[in-house]
Structure 1
């Protein structure tokens, strides 16, 4: 069926595949990079003789907010290569050097600072690009821009070198990018897509570039210039060996009076190996990997929510060349792999062909149980084997066709997923995307019991809201034998300088599962269409104004309506590096099921009509202060009681650079729900983080996340929740980070709770931990 669907599509696309060129062009910008003998000392000084022979260019254009106007400040770039590294020197002139915005901070956390850097598409095919930036203190930022998905991720961290120096006329930055970092085709002469960039934040954030950027072209990577030369470069002995050693003492006790502590000491050595077999082929392996997460996730308020929370991946082994696995749909979310004993990953790009494979085990088997009104996490106490394989073929520069296979298997359980996808850009304004996915799954016969709320949980019995032990997760997991289904996505987008339109249709079968991904809706179809218009004022407070809107409708696979929504919004960008947006949403959507033993919607749910307004704004009025505010007010379904309530959500945040090395981050969420008979709940979540960067490598961070929820149990019809619940998590962490993989951490964290049974905060968990790792580059 997949072949029949996609073969005509591929033939049609390939017929037009030569109609446009979607990679860097010498007519856009061209620089010839010489290959010279001898490395330099990366110290922020440009006194080595190689800089006299380096290629030189100037950043002449402001591309935002000005549209390809003359740059407001001068920036000179020098660049040359050795056989094993690419070297860059930036001289960033400033008429008022005292206004330079720079802070000592964690890696990838200096957006809003003065920055200089480079964007590199090493295959010059407008698919992926590396980005490297450095601020005036030498703090690094790196990311990968993925044209296939339209996303940009700073989760990847490479090992490279930089130094910065403030001068009387601005600042200067020296960078070494070891070629072991980059994937590229082995050739005697290279032709890479390139852009040199400077961010110059003052009253507005000015983006300054080596060349012009056409806003009437929706492909960003297609507009890179070209770097030629780089003769005879190679990765050398691209071998990285990183042993790690983690020691922790974890103590827990039940949340009961006079309960005893249960303590456990753990010592976990591990080893990671990263081998660049060729410049375009990377093999990564790990044994007993250290997947400990040193820093806590940002706090999330989980109340009146029926779907599982999403947490991003942060672990180095999974992040390296992660983009090679990406498709339009999230079919590989590696946080589903919790604690593997080993891992093996191979990624390669040969000509127009891209390959990626991942194999790991896992000491537990965790996966998402999806639905159309709720989702949850399931866990099987058995080891599992996990596999992902990806292939992509670039048929001419406008077209990509790919396949992805994932597998997750344990005793009496498996989930196999097969996917085909295509993305076609026939013009610089139009993009088509399609994806078709099949799954085959088997659950343990008693898995559904983990989601039962009482002992009489029998899926064949009817039950009402007030005595129901059955829920959607029970019905979605009560499966005997193997079952399967499909999912498909069709998407079209048309973008010009000033306006855009889009349409998308998604269908997910009732028995579809993607247990290595994050697909939380099944038995679900959704059509959405919308667009917007953008103005670029040449004067006044705002430099960009957008009017946008969309309409969508969702059904289950039986054609019963789940939701219909219309939204309109305005967005403004302007002075003080400000962004403001507000909008109005009107939607009809169903509440919870009345009979938990049936997945039916019609006659089994109530349709509620909601109208809600929202407002969001952030602003940076000075170099030391960043403020943001998120407000929601309007109708919201009270899912616990299947009624309509009034929601208030107030979420302010502040980032205060107390000094160039001390930063305070504070955010607070205040949320209430009012129903006809009174205040159902009041919830507060505060997230406080205080960081002191002693220098570019050493830091101390203190963080606290506090949750306080008050409910009126008399207003709950079908359950009796705690009237008062509190939770407090604290962490103090010292870190020394030579580079992303060579680190020393020493810390303490705890967890404290209170509820109706114990109304004062009681510590239930504490951990002391130390981590040491070092990356040997051979």
Structure 2
């Protein structure tokens, strides 16, 4: 109760302080201002600006280079004309180039054209420095869009709006014409005149990537959306009828077999008809609904190597229903990760913003119950073969431009299982350099009585055998964390302070997560831990040098269990630089002490039950573009590690090169390979290789053919394992061939084939055990 009282006092103090603060932290006309005329004339979107409407549009120049140079004169000329109709915003970019042959442009899929020449638009439709829509277009008209979230500091390109663009190369550079329908945006149409935050941008990549803007950007201000200019106009603008119906048909034929038992192929044919609804009930309130959705993923996840790793892997969300207005649910902690809803029959989402209030609710069922079982030394995925109901709701209040306070509630429930979570969070920016965030969450959970049996390999988890004190025990941390009777409760909180200036920054964070805290709709993979981090760095901006930005930084952190048993202590120093050849180079050294696995897995204690290992690890990372069509990448780790399977010191060697090779303007090859070894005193424990190869042929702006293959090979020495007897050789490979046609992000046709192969000590060579043929057709009706 004392802790809650302190938090209430803190919240009250911050609210009062925010009202007393006079500094403006949103788009300002002092930065840049643009008046948009309303011209109700139709144009043909073709990349030419021949229509009379363009002669009456407002014209503006991109006069400043904000990176890598600091608010200097732009090296090339960019003219933008802007006007509005009753239903859309129109932009015409004339991007001049003294050497048009050097323009970098490729025919790519949506959101894949980064590195090309491009122009862009950033719009904050509430001008409150919380969220901004971003639209970027390359000279061929290829679109990239995203949402920038100031609360989390992240940009999400997973959002896909329906908007229109055309681009064309000219003798003097290129031209881009853009139409942004007002139905794209959330905005308050009760205002007779709209005033939005705005920035117009051009990326000009040559030896360095030059960022050009309508106005100056102050590097001494940590907030980015606070530095937008303003645009006024759109008199009497309304979103009008904003109703989108997207029916879909999905058909697939899959075959599987258990090779180890020599079973024949089993077939499964499935045809599903689904319907998605997107309805703008008001200009600030959006309803998304889906019935019998196709929540399969068209694009395979990037390959990840799961070896000598004790925590569950993270995979990002890619499904459109969950991504639309996803930012309305975001908090500083990852308390909502919708990939925990794996296969729903229905979903409903309502998001709304009015004045200073933001509200969002999500509800969906799932044909099973899937969630993380976290610990302080390991985590894993639990699955209950029962339908679950999932709900998340978020409210945020922005009483001033410096202060936000919000709450999040999540619910995940099945017949003998539930997880309820409630959270409160604040963000306060007393100055342009200082940011303070805090979040508190409390959970109540109940597990089925026999859930722990999933994690003991079929043995009797209730019995402690004679070999437990030697590490060979069916009981483990996941068993101990799930062997619960009745309901259990706990809490977590996190407090962060950051001070950021042009040439230096400092930050610190303290986080405490209780033993029995669970966030089963989120991705919190560690519990029973407290962690303190403090760090900072200094930044140089050299002029007339190969490097245009150099940062020297580091941090120190220490972690304990809730019983004050030390888990880890780490010091890291690093140096990073940006410069010519569009290069980024970083290297650092880490020195830490941390515990390995529990000697007796049947006991949760750390002290007297683990070994504290000392490690020194060096790392290096770089990516650069030696020529316009080739981007190279390299990630290297070498130094001390822990052999978690056998609880002893080890040496890790990791090499991860990558290449993006634009073979032609429409054909791109992406390849990466991860090579990793772990050596112990008696020899090499394992050698792991993972290759990820993707070939994309963009036939037109709307259609493509994509081939992907992910291959994993792990060679182990079973004689060096103390508690296990693993396969000497394990291999798997997954392949996918996909044809796609996209009229827009929701009107699509996909036709594809995928398969999987596996091999181990009992299967001599890669043998196919899965294959699937699939087709999807959907069409978005804009009513």
Q: Per the shorter chain, which TM-score range? A: over 0.9
Aligned residue for 2:198, secondary structure, equals strand
Task: Work out the CA distance in 2 between the residues paired with 1:333 and 1:479.
Answer: 24
Task: Work out the CA distance in 1 between the residues paired with 2:54 and 2:6.
Answer: 56
Cα 1:465–1:316, aligned 2, differ >3 Å: closer, same or farther?
farther
2:565 pairs, out of 560, 564, 568, with 560
Give the superposition deviation at 1:332. 0.2
Give the superposition deviation at 1:132. 0.2
Q: Which runs of 5+ in 2 are unaligned?
A: none
Task: Work out the CA distance in 2 between the residues paired with 1:8 and 1:396.
Answer: 18
Give the superposition deviation at 1:698. 1.0
Q: Which residue of 2 aligns with 1:476?
A: 481
Give the superposition deviation at 1:454. 4.2
Cα 1:655–1:415, aligned 2, differ >3 Å: closer, same or farther?
same
Q: Which residue of 2 aligns with 1:40?
A: 43
Task: Work out the CA distance in 2 between the residues paired with 1:726 and 1:192.
Answer: 54
Q: Which residue of 2 aligns with 1:66?
A: 69
In the alignment, structure 1 residue 160 sits paired with structure 2 residue 145 = no
Give the superposed CA RMSD: 1.0
Task: Work out the CA distance in 2 between the residues paired with 1:759 and 1:638.
Answer: 28
Give the superposition deviation at 1:461. 6.5
Larger mean CA deviation between 38-47 and 58-67 belongs to 38-47
Aligned residue for 2:448, secondary structure, equals coil
Aligned residue for 1:689, secondary structure, equals strand
Task: Work out the CA distance in 1 between the residues paired with 2:470 and 2:343.
Answer: 38
Give the superposition deviation at 1:257. 6.3
2:245 pairs, out of 241, 247, 258, with 241
1:210 pairs, out of 214, 239, 245, with 214
1:695 pairs, out of 700, 711, 714, with 700
Task: Work out the CA distance in 1 between the residues paired with 2:351 and 2:458.
Answer: 48
What is the CA deviation profile of residues 688-720 of structure 1, one whole-angstrom value per residue up to 9, with x for unaligned ones?
Answer: 011111111111111110001000000001000
Give the superposition deviation at 1:406. 0.3
Give the superposition deviation at 1:40. 1.6
Query: Could you tell me whether the CA contact under 8 Å between 2:411 and 2:521 is conserved in 1?
Result: yes
Q: Which residue of 2 aligns with 1:768?
A: 773
Q: Which residue of 2 aligns with 1:590?
A: 595
Q: Which residue of 2 aligns with 1:7?
A: 8
Q: Which residue of 1 aligns with 2:517?
A: 512
Normalising by structure 1, what TM-score?
A: 0.99
Task: Work out the CA distance in 1 between the residues paired with 2:603 and 2:471.
Answer: 15
Give the superposition deviation at 1:14. 2.2
In the alignment, structure 1 residue 53 sits paired with structure 2 residue 65 = no
Give the superposition deviation at 1:464. 2.8
- Within 5 A, what are the aligned runs for 1:253-268? 253-256=257-260, 258-268=262-272
Task: Work out the CA distance in 2 between the residues paired with 1:96 and 1:231.
Answer: 41
- Within 5 A, what are the aligned runs for 1:364-403? 364-403=368-407
- Within 5 A, what are the aligned runs for 1:526-565? 526-565=531-570
Task: Work out the CA distance in 2 between the residues paired with 1:704 and 1:720.
Answer: 29
In the alignment, structure 1 residue 121 sits paired with structure 2 residue 124 = yes
- Within 5 A, what are the aligned runs for 1:583-732? 583-732=588-737
In the alignment, structure 1 residue 175 sits paired with structure 2 residue 178 = yes
Task: Work out the CA distance in 2 between the residues paired with 1:457 and 1:188.
Answer: 68
Q: Which residue of 2 aligns with 1:750?
A: 755
Q: Which runs of 5+ in 1 are unaligned?
A: none
Give the superposition deviation at 1:92. 0.3
Task: Work out the CA distance in 2 between the residues paired with 1:454 and 1:338.
Answer: 25
In the alignment, structure 1 residue 325 sits paired with structure 2 residue 333 = no
Give the superposition deviation at 1:261. 0.3
Give the superposition deviation at 1:15. 2.1
What is the CA deviation profile of residues 622-677 of structure 1, one whole-angstrom value per residue up to 9, with x for unaligned ones?
Answer: 11000000000000100001001110000000000000000000100000011000
- Within 5 A, what are the aligned runs for 1:16-415? 16-18=17-19, 19=21, 20-186=23-189, 187-256=191-260, 258-415=262-419
Task: Work out the CA distance in 1 between the residues paired with 2:344 and 2:458.
Answer: 33
Task: Work out the CA distance in 1 between the residues paired with 2:299 and 2:470.
Answer: 40
Task: Work out the CA distance in 1 between the residues paired with 2:38 and 2:470.
Answer: 73
Cα 1:466–1:552, aligned 2, differ >3 Å: closer, same or farther?
closer
Task: Work out the CA distance in 2 between the residues paired with 1:320 and 1:75.
Answer: 32
Query: Could you tell me whether the CA contact under 8 Å between 1:459 and 1:597 is conserved in 2?
Result: no
Give the superposition deviation at 1:83. 1.3
Query: Could you tell me whether the CA contact under 8 Å between 2:464 and 2:475 is conserved in 1?
Result: no
Task: Work out the CA distance in 2 between the residues paired with 1:513 and 1:459.
Answer: 26
Give the superposition deviation at 1:42. 1.2
Give the superposition deviation at 1:38. 2.3
Query: Could you tell me whether the CA contact under 8 Å between 1:415 and 1:439 is conserved in 2?
Result: yes
Aligned residue for 2:765, secondary structure, equals coil
What is the CA deviation profile of residues 493-518 of structure 1, one whole-angstrom value per residue up to 9, with x for unaligned ones?
Answer: 00000000001000000000000000
Task: Work out the CA distance in 2 between the residues paired with 1:250 and 1:575.
Answer: 49
Give the superposition deviation at 1:593. 0.5
What is the CA deviation profile of residues 300-323 of structure 1, one whole-angstrom value per residue up to 9, with x for unaligned ones?
Answer: 000000000000000011000000
Aligned residue for 2:621, secondary structure, equals strand
Task: Work out the CA distance in 2 between the residues paired with 1:6 and 1:742.
Answer: 48
2:507 pairs, out of 483, 496, 502, with 502
Query: Could you tell me whether the CA contact under 8 Å between 1:35 and 1:230 is conserved in 2?
Result: yes
Query: Could you tell me whether the CA contact under 8 Å between 2:471 and 2:598 is conserved in 1?
Result: no
Q: Which residue of 1 aligns with 2:455?
A: 451
Task: Work out the CA distance in 2 between the residues paired with 1:516 and 1:258.
Answer: 38
Query: Could you tell me whether the CA contact under 8 Å between 1:453 and 1:470 is conserved in 2?
Result: no
Give the superposition deviation at 1:466. 4.5
Task: Work out the CA distance in 2 between the residues paired with 1:65 and 1:469.
Answer: 56
Task: Work out the CA distance in 2 between the residues paired with 1:38 and 1:414.
Answer: 56
Q: Which residue of 2 aligns with 1:487?
A: 492
Task: Work out the CA distance in 2 between the residues paired with 1:434 and 1:539.
Answer: 42
Query: Could you tell me whether the CA contact under 8 Å between 2:98 and 2:173 is conserved in 1?
Result: yes
Query: Could you tell me whether the CA contact under 8 Å between 1:241 and 1:777 is conserved in 2?
Result: yes
What is the CA deviation profile of residues 192-229 of structure 1, one whole-angstrom value per residue up to 9, with x for unaligned ones?
Answer: 00000000000000000000000000010000000011
Task: Work out the CA distance in 1 between the residues paired with 2:508 and 2:259.
Answer: 50
Task: Work out the CA distance in 2 between the residues paired with 1:420 and 1:245.
Answer: 41
Task: Work out the CA distance in 1 between the residues paired with 2:719 and 2:135.
Answer: 56
Task: Work out the CA distance in 2 between the residues paired with 1:259 and 1:403.
Answer: 52
Aligned residue for 2:572, secondary structure, equals strand
Aligned residue for 1:760, secondary structure, equals strand
Query: Could you tell me whether the CA contact under 8 Å between 1:459 and 1:478 is conserved in 2?
Result: no
What is the CA deviation profile of residues 401-439 of structure 1, one whole-angstrom value per residue up to 9, with x for unaligned ones?
Answer: 000000000011000000000000000010000101000
Aligned residue for 2:111, secondary structure, equals coil
Query: Could you tell me whether the CA contact under 8 Å between 1:485 and 1:511 is conserved in 2?
Result: yes
Query: Could you tell me whether the CA contact under 8 Å between 1:257 and 1:758 is conserved in 2?
Result: no
Task: Work out the CA distance in 1 between the residues paired with 2:401 and 2:42.
Answer: 36
Normalising by structure 2, what TM-score?
A: 0.98
What is the CA deviation profile of residues 94-150 of structure 1, one whole-angstrom value per residue up to 9, with x for unaligned ones?
Answer: 000110001111111111110101000000000000000000111100001100011
Query: Could you tell me whether the CA contact under 8 Å between 1:248 and 1:770 is conserved in 2?
Result: yes
In the alignment, structure 1 residue 434 sits paired with structure 2 residue 435 = no
In the alignment, structure 1 residue 417 sits paired with structure 2 residue 418 = no
Larger mean CA deviation between 492-501 and 102-111 belongs to 102-111
Task: Work out the CA distance in 2 between the residues paired with 1:728 and 1:490.
Answer: 43
Task: Work out the CA distance in 1 between the residues paired with 2:358 and 2:464.
Answer: 48
Task: Work out the CA distance in 1 between the residues paired with 2:403 and 2:711.
Answer: 49
What is the CA deviation profile of residues 233-264 of structure 1, one whole-angstrom value per residue up to 9, with x for unaligned ones?
Answer: 11111000001111000100002264200010
